[in-house]
Amino acid sequence: MSKHEDRRPDPGELLRRVEAGERRESRGRLKVFLGYAPRVGKSLRMFDEGRRRKERGQDVVVAALQQPAGPEIQAVVDRLETVPQDQGAIDLVAMFRRHPQVCLIDGLAQSNPPGSRNPQRWQDVRDLLDHGIAVITAVNVQHIREQQDAVERITHRRAAHSIPQAFLQEADEIEVVDAPPEALLEGAAPAKMPDARQLSELRELALLLAADVIDRQLQGYLDEHGVTARWGAQERILVCLTPKSNAVEMLRSGYRNATRFHGALIAAYVEQSEIGAEDRTRLESHLTLARELGAEVHCLQGADFVQAILDFGRDQRITQLFLGHSMRNPRTAFLRGPMDRLIDAADEFDVRIFPHRNAE
């Protein structure tokens, strides 16, 4: 499948995987419907999936329903068994006793009333999963804790309840519920809803969040099968830093590209033994800038600069390599330099050459 050697994980990594696998086996499956705003239709989609599963013979129970439920949702829920809530919280004791195959839980980000077993509903979900019950649930992007700053920038509001993004990451499946903003605004109380532009921005945020979650899951899957990934869906830019390179331009451009592509920015330098004090200082300032721009910074070891970059680039699934180049004497061209060797060997990523500013 891959033309590169398959990677062999170290023993610690293997043990971690075995444990994770065992945990997963006894654990119930978690499926999350992710929406970008209220009224997008995620609850209906969730309950409808419950209905279809029941029709296919699975033992499905409703554990939490948001009130007021629309007539369409109510019609679906009426065809399902409901375990009544206990003072506004999921009745975990009743759920464990009833022990269905699948339970449906709306409003994942809800908080429980004081005195409940868990302060948050998502923690109830975790308990249900630990008891081997599969959970299908629904949540909007404004309730994902790590996304709340971005949501607040868009809507100037912040939801009171939230769940950690790590919980979303744990889900076995995440499904995006998408619809045009007009569909959400139709017949809505205007004061409570973001405007069409804000909705579009939330929609983009939700899609990118889902893409990132999936990307990490895909990476996990490939790692599990010991395969080096091929060209992925995400742009990953590696800026190669040296003391002499025009690092400011390269990093700024890398940052801009990564932002536009919603990709990753990585900066790396290859450790050199003989390096003067002046070069050391320049390199340090480049690394500081890289970190300021949010790049992941790596120091590579290796006798051969080109090989170190190539190995790292493949391992990191990069799609673009940014490289500085000095305009040396053309007569030395036949001494194929690092640039030429990198271009020759780079089958999987583009090489972008940035001339050194103090060239000639």
Partner 1 sequence: MRGKLKVYLGYAAGVGKTFRMLDDAQALRQKGADVAIGYFEPHGRKETIAKIEGLEIIPRKKLAYAGSQFEEMDTEAILQRKPAVALVDEFAHTNVPGSARLKRWQDVEALLDAGIDVLTTLNVQHLESLNDQVWDVTGVRVRETVPDWVVDGADEVIFVDLTPRALRNRLERGVVYAPEKAQKAMENFFIESNLTALREMAMRHAAHELEEKLESAPAGRAEGREAERILICLTGRPSSAMLIRRARRVADYLQAGCLALHVKREPAMDEVAERHLNFARNLRIETHVVQGEDVAKTIADFARNERVTQIFMGRSAPLPWWKRFEETTVQKLVRQAHDMQVTIVAERRR
Answer whether 136's CB lies under 8 Å from 184's CB. no
The binder of partner 1 chosen from 218, 293, 297, 300 (CB under 8 A): 218
**Is there binding between residue 147 and partner 1 (CB under 8 A)?**
no
Residue closer to partner 1 (CB basis): 286 or 314 = 314
Q: Can you count the helices (H) and strands (E) in the chain?
A: 13, 11
Closest CA to 185 of 195, 175, 176, 177: 195
Stretch that binds partner 1, among 100-108, 226-234, 280-288, 303-311 (CB under 8 A): 226-234
Beta sheet of 134-140, edge-to-edge order: 81-82, 60-64, 102-105, 134-140, 30-35, 173-176
The binder of partner 1 chosen from 69, 127, 339, 341 (CB under 8 A): 339
Dihedral sign, Cα of residue 229, residue 231, residue 237, residue 242: positive
The binder of partner 1 chosen from 203, 286, 314, 317 (CB under 8 A): 203
Answer whether 63's CB lies under 8 Å from 103's CB. yes
* Measured CA distances, 79 to 24, 50, 55, 188 (Å): 31, 10, 10, 27
**Is there binding between residue 97 and partner 1 (CB under 8 A)?**
no
**Is there binding between residue 327 and partner 1 (CB under 8 A)?**
yes
The binder of partner 1 chosen from 126, 131, 261, 298 (CB under 8 A): 261
228: exposed, middle or buried (Cβ count in 10 Å: 0-12, 13-18, 19+): middle
Residue closer to partner 1 (CB basis): 117 or 230 = 230
**Is there binding between residue 105 and partner 1 (CB under 8 A)?**
no
Q: How far is the CB of 42 from partner 1 (least distance, A)?
A: 11
Q: How far is the CB of 4 from partner 1 (least distance, A)?
A: 12
For strand 30-35 and strand 102-105, is the pairing parallel, antiparallel, or unpaired?
unpaired
Q: Which parts of this chain interact with partner 1 (CB under 8 A)?
A: 3, 31, 172-180, 197, 200-201, 203-204, 207-208, 210-211, 214-215, 217-218, 221-222, 230-234, 253, 256-257, 260-262, 320, 325, 327, 330, 333-334, 339-340, 343-344, 346-355, 359-360
